[in-house]
A = this chain, B = another copy of it.
Amino acid sequence: MTDSAGALAASSDATTEPRDTEPRGTEPRDTAPREGQVGSQVTLQDVADRAGVSLTTASRVLSNSPRRVGRQLAGRVHKAVAELGYTANLQARAVATGQSSMVGVVVHDIADPYFSSIAAGLMDVAHPLQLLVCLSSTTEHEAGEREYVALMRAQRARAVIIIGSRSGDQAMLTALRAEITAFTRSGGRVACVGQDLLGIDTILPQNAAGAEALARALVVQGHRRFAVLAGPAGLLTAEDRLAGFLTGLAAWQVGVDPRLIVHGAFTRDGGYEAMSTVLAMSSERPDCVFAVNDVMAVGALARARAAGLSVPGDIGLAGFDDITTLRDVYPPLTTVRLPLAQMGEMAARLVLTNANADQATVIPVPGEVILRDSTFRLPPGR
């Protein structure tokens, strides 16, 4: 039961033997710094004074300087550090060296499992690298991405990762692109997970191709009359999936009644309402409904159930993303799996790799169609 209190070593190197006493230490030797005072900070100078060495030497011991310091002095410094409970001020270090270890991440909504999964993957690679990950949700706030990139530039962050492109709003895009240029020029790296319209390194989920494959598979399963819960009108991810889906159907000569393409929020409630609209349609009920993401699909499922319809008995239902948390909904949801965590990891690697080609890298990530019960059709009709 070794109790190691007052440990320090935030930075990679400044490892010190922690004492098992309070950091106040015993009694100071040389000067009596303002240690122990609330709100005060122990500085490197205090450490140097106490160890009886110069500021320079103390710094060399504590930062991973190429210059070596004699065992004797180094020991004294470490001792002083432990006694004083000193921790280097990373901000000051960053100012002095001009290097930051901060990485910014922007998502739309961290509570959305799509984003949090990507973020998790991302942190998995950032963590071992001692990087400081700063996260921001831009929920509802249109200019969020641009502002955040600006903030990261002000913080002299090493990199920014933008997850999920916003709408196709041209002005917004131009502004964001300009901000990114400024950030890049000042030495930062930027990558994005989503559409490739910023001219930067991008992890590009194959939304269209995935939806297309899904459509083909659904037709093979015997579905013919489709509805699509298409997400918000301007959102590119949603649009791509819709377009890909229609393409896939077209390949089998299957068309979709335009009235059965219903837009709505990219959320559970959006799915619920869009499904309401579909069901309220006087025309013949569709065989199968494609919701452009899993969360909407779940909303649609709830709506179908409320209408007394069985899935897939009365109507088929498919989603997109294969959100982990939703893998156990009943009936199991046919969907297109995106390797979210891996996408996060790739984005992180992309941005931390110094192999900075002058050309933006675009890494396409295919989706995998996963057929589950929610679209199962028996007998294979027609």
Contacts and interface: CB of A to CB of B under 8 A. Distances in A.
B113 A120 contact: no
B110 A110 contact: yes
A91 to B, nearest CB: 5
Interface string A1-42: 111111111110000000000110000000000001011111
Interface in A268-291: 268
Nearest to A133: B135
Interface string A135-172: 11101000000110011011110000000000000110
A39 B354 CA distance: 14
Interface in A74-101: 85, 87-92, 94-95, 98, 100
A127 interface: yes
A170 B2 CA distance: 10
B135 A123 contact: yes
A47 interface: no
Nearest to A111: B120
Given A113-B113, A120-B111, A8 B156 contact: no
A136 B110 contact: no
Contacts of A117: 111
A7 B299 contact: no
A174 B5 contact: yes
A91 B95 contact: yes
Interface string A197-212: 0000000000000000
Given A6-B178, A113-B325, A150-B10, A134 B132 contact: yes
Contacts of A23: 178, 181-182, 185
B171 A3 contact: yes
Contacts of A92: 95
Contact of A328 (B102, B150, B299): B299
A106 to B, nearest CB: 11
Contact of A186 (B7, B41, B109, B127): B41
A236 interface: no
Interface in A40-58: 40-42
A2 B123 CA distance: 36
A123 B139 CA distance: 10
A182 B16 CA distance: 15
Contacts of A94: 91
B186 A40 contact: yes
Contact of A155 (B22, B132, B170, B301): B132
Q: By CB atoms of chain B within 10 A, which of A10, A109, A133, A301 has the most?
A: A10
A298 interface: yes
9 contacts: A1-B171, A4-B171, A10-B150, A91-B156, A111-B324, A113-B113, A119-B135, A268-B325, A325-B325
